[in-house]
Amino acid sequence: MKQFSTKNNLLPLVIPAAALMILAFLPSNNSGAGDTTDIDRSSDLTGSFTISGDPLVAPLSRVWAAEFMKLHPGVVITVVEDAFSGIDALSRGAAIYQSMPRLGPADAETAPGIETNRIRIASDALSVIRWPWNPVELMTLEQVSGIYSGRIVNWKELGGPDEPIAVYAMPPGTPAYDFFKAKVLRLYGLPSADETIEFGSNVIFVRSAEEGNDLVAENPFAVFFTPVNIVTQEVTPTWIAHTAGEEPSKACLETTSAGIFPIYRPLYYYTDGQPGGIVQEFIDFCLSEPGQDMVMLGGYLRLFFPNLDQ
């Protein structure tokens, strides 16, 4: 096996020291966040409502709904997966429309007779992980696309060792696969975007994110994209920049909440106007510190600052 070179000629970028201090996935101590004293725990809170919409957001909605109903036994919340509904679900009986933006033409945020009220509830992001001592610490989106399309096949092309890249990917048809294909492989939103780019013949599709993490931990020359909540201590996330010359970042609470990290998207709840009663109580719970601490149970990242609306 060849020795790694300590020289990395990937990009003329300097990673700011402050950015290295960002701690991923730790609960925020922000004094503006809600706490349990902000939540009405009275047993007389009663009523029912429905949350409908994107199946990708449904697991998180169910986590919150189950806990809220445990706190308030008189409340019944029904979570419906409806991949074909839009915000007009609010005019068909749903109190909350759950949505994760797709890449491409945006889902309509308006419908006749609906006063759109959008609330950001969490974040989704993918990490591109590698062996911890691989010297290629950062890449651009185009370079990651090059790896997964088969145009870049050796680490030396990225300033690393003269070794072939072992390329692993999430299973086709999974949300992570679809998101990566549009956002990274096909470079959505960049001048070089190309809808014809496909995964290269060099890509090995694993059965699960956990399997991909294990393969990277065992192989100094492997790379894998994975939901951020699956990343283990045996691997390390790669710093990602939109383009050469731009400041890179890693997926963490701060960068995803601020929308800085290149491979991220927000999750939203929509209501018809400002909600009241138990619907507002539920949303307040979701955005509170206890509610946000449960976000990873639903497979996503909590907001760095709960109640952040952007």
Q: What average pLDDT does the segment 203-214 reach?
A: 96
The answer on pLDDT for 59 being more than 50 is yes
For residue 307, the model assigns a pLDDT of 55
Gap between the Cα atoms of 167 and 164, Å rounded: 9
Q: Convert the pLDDT of each residue in 152-165 to its tens digit.
A: 999 999 999 999 99
Predicted confidence band at 228 (pLDDT cuts at 50, 70, 90)? confident
Closest CA to 156 of 131, 136, 185: 136
Q: Convert the pLDDT of each residue in 245-296 to its tens digit.
A: 999 999 888 888 888 999 999 999 999 999 999 999 999 999 999 999 999 8
Per-residue buried b or exposed e for 163-198, using 16+ beta carbons within 10 Å of the residue's own CB:
eebbbbbbeeeeebbebbbbbbbbbbebeeeeeebe
Q: What average pLDDT does the segment 125-145 reach?
A: 96
pTM of the full structure:
0.78
The answer on pLDDT for 29 being more than 70 is no
pLDDT, greater one: 304 or 21? 304
The answer on pLDDT for 43 being more than 70 is no
Gap between the Cα atoms of 208 and 206, Å rounded: 6
Domains, the chain: 36-122+267-298 (3.40.190.10), 125-257 (3.40.190.10)
Predicted confidence band at 111 (pLDDT cuts at 50, 70, 90)? confident
264: tokens are 């991220």
Q: What average pLDDT does the segment 12-17 reach?
A: 33
Q: What average pLDDT does the segment 50-77 reach?
A: 96
State the burial class of residue 141 (Cβ atoms within 10 Å of its Cβ: 0-12, 13-18, 19+).
buried
Rounded to the nearest integer, the mean pLDDT of the chain is 85
Predicted confidence band at 27 (pLDDT cuts at 50, 70, 90)? very low
State the burial class of residue 5 (Cβ atoms within 10 Å of its Cβ: 0-12, 13-18, 19+).
middle
Gap between the Cα atoms of 241 and 136, Å rounded: 13
Three-state secondary structure readout of the chain: CCCCCCCCCCCCCCCCHHHHHCCCCCCCCCCCCECHHHCCCCCCCCEEEEEEECCCCHHHHHHHHHHHHHHCCCEEEEEEECCCCCHHHHHHCCCEEEECCCCCCCCCCCCCCCCEEEEEEEEEEEEEEECCCCCCCEEEHHHHHHHHHCCCCEHHHHCCCCCECEEEECCCCCHHHHHHHHHHHCCCCCCCCCCCCCCCCCEEECCCHHHHHHHHHHCCCEEEEEEHHHCCCCCEECEEECCCCCCCECCCHHHHHCCCCCCEEEEEEEEECCCCHHHHHHHHHHHEHHHHCCHHHHCCECCCCCCCCC
Per-residue buried b or exposed e for 64-77, using 16+ beta carbons within 10 Å of the residue's own CB:
bbebbeebbeebeb
Give 196's contacts (C-beta < 8 A, 6+ positions apart).
none
For residue 253, the model assigns a pLDDT of 82
For residue 32, the model assigns a pLDDT of 35
The answer on pLDDT for 54 being more than 50 is yes
For residue 252, the model assigns a pLDDT of 82
Residues forming a β-bridge with 126: 227
The answer on pLDDT for 33 being more than 80 is no
Contact 1, 161 (CB under 8 A): no
Predicted confidence band at 94 (pLDDT cuts at 50, 70, 90)? very high
For residue 20, the model assigns a pLDDT of 31
For residue 107, the model assigns a pLDDT of 54
The answer on pLDDT for 18 being more than 70 is no
Predicted confidence band at 103 (pLDDT cuts at 50, 70, 90)? low
Predicted confidence band at 85 (pLDDT cuts at 50, 70, 90)? confident
